Structure 1
C-alpha cells in the first residue's frame, strides 16, 4: 500500500530529477519591537518547488504562512536568507508571479471582461489588440464566465468573483501562481466546484503553484506536496508530505482509499500536536 512520505523537517526538496524552480534558503523574517528586540515570525525556512508542482502550505493562524507567500510574491522582504526564482533573487513583485487573494480585489467600476483586460494591458504591452482580446476571451471561457463577461462585480456571486481573479492571474501567463486561501470566503458547495475547476485548469497547463490553506481536504485533493508549518512565533517547516495520488484526480475515488485517510490523519495529528489554547 502506498504511503504518504514525510520529507526531513525543514529540508529543501532533493528528489532525483526534480528541476528546482523556486528556492527558499535559510529564510528568516523578523520585525523590530519597541524594546529594541526582534519579533521573529519565520525562522530558517528551506523549501524548493519545481516548475510544474502544486504545493500547499498548512499551519495554525500566526505561523507565518501568508508572510512566506508575500515574500515569494515580492510584496515583503526577508530579514535574512534568500528566495530565488530560476536562480534570480526575488526583490520585488513581478509578472512571472501572480497572486490570488482570498478577497477578490476586483475594480467595481470595471466589468468582468475589463478587470481581466486591465492585467493583460499592463503586462502584455507588445501584444496586438486582437491578441489581447483573444487572451481575455480564452480565459473567460476557461473559468466559464462568458455569460457574465459584461457584468460588474456587484452583479455576480462570490464564486464568480474569485473565478475572475483566477482568470486575471492566469491571463498574463505567469510562471508561478500564488494563492492565499483562495477558496476560504466561499460556501462549501461553491468551494468544491471551484477547487475542481482550478485543478482541471492546472492539470491542462501546468505551472508552479504555492497555495496557503487551512483546509486539509483541499490540500490533499489539489497538491503534489503539503508543507506543514510549526506554530509561530519563530515558525519553521515541521514536515513536508508527498501526496500519493496521480493526476488527474477523482475526489470520490481518493476519499474511498486507505491512503487518503492515512495522510489526512497524519496531517490532523500534526496540527493537533501544535495546537495551543491562545490560537
Structure 2
C-alpha cells in the first residue's frame, strides 16, 4: 500500500526535518506514529497526504509515485478541518461534490443520511458546527472522510482536544469504523495508550528519524486496556521515547 524510500525533507532555510525515512505499510494496516513535539511526525503525515513534496526520496501509494494530493486520501486534523460557518449537511455535501461532481442530489442525500445514522449524529444534520461539542465535530470530520470513499485515512492528533470520556468514545468509534470500512489508517498522537489501542504497528520517531517500529498485540482489545500486560506495552513504548 505505502512504500517510503530514502525520504528527507526540510523547510526553506532550515535544517532537515525528516532524515532518510524508509517505511512500508501494508494495505488495511492500522499504524500509530508517536514522538515528542518537533520530531517530524506531522510533517511526515503532510508528505503522505501530498500536501508537501519531499526534498529527496520517494513515496509510493498502491505502487504509484505520489506527486500530488490524492482524492482517495482523507485527512483529519486536530480541529477537524471543517468549515465552521456551514452546517453538518453542507460540510458533507461539499466533500462529496469535490470527489464526485456527477452525483445526483438524491444519491448525495442518501449517502449523507447513511453516514449520519452510522455515527449516531443524524439529528444534528442541519446544525452549524458551533452548536456541536468537540466530540461531535470530530464525528462530522470522520463522516466527511467516509462520504469521500477514501482508501487511506491520515489523522493528526484528532483526539487531543477531547476530554477523557469523549476521547474513549472517539477511539471506540474509530475501531468500529476500521472493522466496517477496512481502511489503511495512520494516526499521529502524543498519547501512548491511544497509540497502543489504535495501532497494529507503533512507529516511534525521534529528531526526524524513525527510531523504532513496535509490533503490537493489544490493538483494538478493549478488555486488555485494564490489564497489566497492556500497561507493560505502554511502558515499553515510553522507553523508546526516552
TM-score in terms of structure 1 length:
0.83
- 1:10-49 matches, within 5 Å, as 21-33=1-13, 39-49=15-25
Q: 1:266 aligns with which of 218, 233, 236?
A: 236
Task: Structure 2: give runs of 5+ residues left out of the alignment.
Answer: none
Residue 138 of structure 1 deviates from its aligned partner by 1.2
Show the counterpart of 2:95. Answer: 119
Q: What residue is the counterpart of 1:200 in the other structure?
A: 176
* Offset, 1:253: 2.9
Q: Which residue of 123, 131, 136 corresponds with 2:107?
A: 131
Q: What residue is the counterpart of 2:137 in the other structure? A: 161
Q: State the superposition RMSD in angstroms.
A: 1.4
For residues 1-279 of structure 1, what are the structure 2 equivalents within 5 Å?
Answer: 21-33=1-13, 39-230=15-206, 232=207, 235-245=208-218, 249-258=220-229, 260-272=230-242
- TM-aligned CA deviation for residue 132 of structure 1: 1.4
SS, match of residue 23 in structure 1: strand
TM superposition outliers: structure 1 runs of 4+ over 3 Å: none
Structure 2 distance, partners of 1:110, 1:254, is 38
Q: Which secondary structure state, in structure 2, belongs to the residue aligned with residue 57 of structure 1?
A: strand
The alpha-carbon deviation at position 45 of structure 1 amounts to 0.6
Give the Cα separation in 2 of the matches to 1:113 and 1:47.
38
Q: Deviations over 1:109-155 (max 9, x none)?
A: 32111111110011122333222111111111122110111111111
Contact map agreement 1:142 1:201 (CA 8 A) in 2: no
User: What is the DSSP-based 3-state SS (H/G/I as helix, E as strand, rest coil) of the residue aligned with 1:82?
Assistant: strand
Structure-2 residue corresponding to 1:5 = none
Structure 2 CA distance for aligned equivalents of residues 193 and 227 of structure 1? 24
Determine the structure 2 residue equivalent to 1:18.
none
Count of residues paired in the alignment: 242
**Whole-angstrom CA distance in 2 between matches of 1:100 and 1:59:** 18
SS at match of 1:185: coil
**Gapped regions of structure 1 (runs ≥ 5):** 1-20, 273-279
Give the structure with higher Rg (CA). 1
Distance in 1 separating the partners of 2:222 and 2:228: 10
